[in-house]
Structures are given as C-alpha cells and as structure tokens.
Structure 1
Amino acid sequence: MKLSYFHQKALAIFLLNLAGLIIFFSWYLPAQHGFWLSIDTHIFYFFNQHILPDTFFASFVAYTNNRKFDLVILLAMGALYYNTFRKKDYMGKRHLVIVGLVMVISAVLINQLGQNIPIERPSPTLHFQDVHRVGVMTGIPTKDASGDSFPGDHGLMLLIFCSFILRYLSFRSFLCALLITVVFSLPRVMAGAHWASDILVGSISLTLITTSWLLITPLSNIIVRQLEKHLPFKK
C-alpha cells in the first residue's frame, strides 16, 4: 500500500530520529564508549604522530585551526549559496536571504542546545599523555585542545548548513556542501581539538534529530513565510 505524503514525512522523521538515537547511544551507553574509543584513538594517533617541529604538516594543521581560517569556511559556504542566489530574480533572492537568516538562527539555537548536553569530554590532546600539541610545535596561535569537545561545533554548524542546502537548494549543491563539511571539519580532528566521534556521533546525531523536525515538518516554511510578510522589500 502506497503511503500518503503525510505518512511519508512522518516515516522520514521517525527514521532520522531513530538513526540519530542509535548513533548517539552506540557511543554513550558502552563503557569507555565501546568501539568508538578504538576508532577515536587510532584516528588521533594517525595524525598526531606527524605533528612534528618544522614540518609542513604541522604548519598546515596549525593554520587551518587558527580562528582567522574560519573566514575561509564562511567564504566557501557563501560561494556555494551565492551560486544559486545570483540566478534568481528579486523575489527569489529575497526568499533565499530569509532562508539564510532562518538557517543562521537555527544553527545558533541548535549549537546552544548541543553545548548544554550534560556531557563533558576533554579533547584527545588533554586526555592522552605525551602528545604532540601543534600550537607548541609551531608557535602559531591555534585551537589544538578543548575542555569540552562534545559535540563538535564546527561539524554541527556545517551539517546544519548541509541540511538547509538539501531542503532549499538542490541535491548537487548538497553534495558540494557535504564536501565542504568533510574538508573543513577534518582540521579539528587532525589537531586533536576534537575526537572523530565528536563529529561522527555528536554533530551527526544532533543534526539528524533537530533538523528533521525543523525541515521535514512545515516549521521552517512557516518561519520563512512569516518573515517574508514582515520584512520590508522593494516592489
């Protein structure tokens, strides 16, 4: 029997929430985070062994984790969004501006929710002893540690961006956004400022649960329409 449109949406939300919960509890419930600890440890030491003084890799990791590098991430996201924006007429551009505003507000609120999850987890550079700190190795101001790294904030923001791109732009743009997410989430893991599971578990599970309710239900469209009614525009 073919499901109605409403039931398809409900099933999608259920499955995405179920996936998010399974991912999260596969990490949260086992002692020492089960198989995730082995994955995290291997990934951390794979990169950390190459962070040595006077090496290109160490400098690369340091610069890509400097706060100024966040501007490069914003430029990449903005360029992808602008590629669709520039092709629209005035009303289409106005619509995308409002969608972008809703995306930013949603990302801030979801990030705050993530930061208030009652889990404190120091980054691997603080958890393990005798590790290579890229900031110390290079002398470059950089983020190579965090007292509370779960969930990964960069990964979370980028995944929310992906979700909005998939909902309001195109699948092709979504694939580009996914590539941006992988490329720009990796430096935090390479530096040891985040565990891989901070992103693969924390960021992904929180994104699946929150954005499914926001974007599959009419909620985001309702917010966009209300803003379209109340924000001034040229006729």
Structure 2
Amino acid sequence: MNRQAGLYVAPLLGALIALSWSLLPGHGAWAHWDMGIFSGFNALIAEPGPWRLILAIINHRLFDLVSLSCMLAMLLTLFVRSDAQGRARWVAIALLMVVTALLLNRIGHLIPIERASPTLSMPGALRLTTLIDFPTKDAAGDSFPGDHGLMLMIFAAFMLRFAPRWMGALACLIVVIFTLPRIMVGAYWFTDIYMGSLSLCLILLPWLLLTPLCERAMSWLTPPMASLLGRIEHQTS
C-alpha cells in the first residue's frame, strides 16, 4: 500500500474500529471478547503456583524498563548503522516521536470515555496484589485508552515509516508482547488497547507520518541535531 492510499485507509479503518465499539448495542463483539479474555486469565490467577509470580514480575513498573530498553536498542542499532547525516536524522525522528507521544497521550485523555479496569469494575475479580508479597500493576481507575499500548503503537508506527521492514515488523510484535501482561492481570480491558489505543493511532498518526508535514518536521529538526552531534563528537575527540 502506498502512502497516499494509507493516508485514507488507515484513518477509515480506525474510525470503523471506534464506531464498531461505540455504536453497536452493548459494544457488540468487543464486549464478548473483553469478558472472555478477562475471565479466562482471571481464572488462571486463581490457581496457585509460579504463574502468579511471573505475572506479578512482568507487570511491575520496573519491568516497563524492559520494553523501553527494547525500543532504545532498536533506535541505537539504526543510529550506529547510519552515516553522520543519518544519525542526525534518527535523533530528529526520536525527538519527533516523543513529542507525538505526549500529544497523542493528552488527546487520548481528553476523549470523554472513562471506565475502570476489569479488576475494579467486575464483581468478584481477583487482584494479583492480594495474592503476592509485593505491589504490581493490576488495576487502573481510568484504563481508556491504554496509555501503555498507545506509546508502544506510536513507536511501531514510526518504525514502520522510517525503519527497514523487518524492524517495523519487530516493533509490531513488541506491541503485542508488552501489552499482553496488562490484559492478562486485568489492569486493562482488551478494548482499551486494541480498540482505544489502536483506533486513536490509526486516525491521527497518518496525518503526520504520511503527509508532507512529516518531511517538513524532519527538515527542520535534522540540521540542529546534526550540529549538536557534531559538537559532541568534537568535544569527545
């Protein structure tokens, strides 16, 4: 799919995903998926054993550093493999990514939809924090849209736009791997991420990444980043 087609197809798909949740009676199939996924994983938590400890560890706040490290490692790989101009461009891409993430996260929280995570809204739901000896992320007072998933999806979108195809595919896989733990413990509904975060990214990101606005931003950011890297290299040589 070329960029021009993607500029229209991606927002249309995002709008259809959002409408399929908001307009269908009882949220349609999304509600069934939410309940089925949460009930299945919550039943697993009820079973004693190492499973609980593993889930607690991968949902601890410190474990978020693992996903951050994966993203930084990918960016560093692209940075190191590039020439001087390419390195400045990747620093500019990283900066643009951070600004975009902050803006989309703010927009996401302005959406007039508030709902608590499954562990706080479902009667009888088991919370992992009551079954282990240390705190972990197993609940959210307002889990829509899933901000954790939103950040990962923004990263994946930038990788699909600027990085080699294999790295874009790897970034998409990272989204699945690192959003799954939050869903498994009931800190987020499935739809918080794969309807809320995904539709937001599909609707808004193409207008940055698939239009001339992106290249204009890059042409504005890259020269000062090249100058900065040049000064750093000069001072360290």
TM-score by length of 1: 0.92
CA distance in 2, matches of 1:29, 1:145: 26
Aligned to 2:77: 83
Contact 1:155–1:181 (Cα < 8 Å) also in 2: yes
Q: SS of 1:140's equivalent?
A: coil
Kindly report which structure 2 residues correspond to 1:1-235, keeping only aligned pairs within 5 A, or say none: 9-52=3-46, 54-231=48-225, 232-233=227-228, 234=230
Counting aligned pairs with the same residue, the percent is 42
Count residues with an aligned counterpart: 228
Measured in 1, the distance between the counterparts of 2:133 and 2:124 equals 18
Q: For the residues of structure 1 that align with 2:6 and 2:95, how far apart are their CA atoms? A: 25
Q: Which has the higher helix share?
A: 2
Task: After TM superposition, give the deviation of residue 122 of structure 1 in Å.
Answer: 1.0
- The DSSP-based 3-state class of the residue aligned with 2:137 is coil
Question: Could you say if the C-alpha distance between residues 160 and 207 of structure 1 is closer, same or farther in structure 2, counting changes exceeding 3 Å?
Answer: same
User: Could you tell me which residue of structure 2 aligns to residue 4 of structure 1?
Assistant: none
Listed as ranges, the gaps of 5+ residues in structure 2 are 232-237
Partner of 2:234: none
Distance 1:100 1:45 in 2: 38
Matched residue type, 1:162: A
Instruction: Output one character per residue of 1:173-232: Cα deviation in whole Å (capped at 9) or x when no partner.
Output: 011101111100001100101011111101110011111101000112211211223443
What's the CA shift for 1:53? 6.7
Q: Which runs of 5+ in 1 are unaligned?
A: 1-7
Look up the match of 1:5: none
Contact 2:88–2:223 under 8 Å retained in 1:
no
Counterpart amino acid of residue 15 in structure 1:
V
The letter for the 1-side match of 2:118 is P
AA matched with 1:145: A
Residue pair 2:108, 2:200 contacting (<8 A) in 1 also: yes
Deviation per residue, 1:33-55 (Å, 9 max, x gap): 12111100000011111113752
1:48-81 Cα offsets, whole Å, 9 max, x none, are 1111375211111111111111111110111122
Q: Distance in 1 between matches of 2:165 and 2:174?
A: 14
Contact in 2 for aligned 1:150/1:202 (Cα 8 Å) = yes
**What's the Cα RMSD here?**
1.5
Does the CA-based 8 Å contact 2:114-2:142 persist in structure 1? yes
Deviations 1:2-35 (A, max 9, x none): xxxxxx6443212111100000010011232121
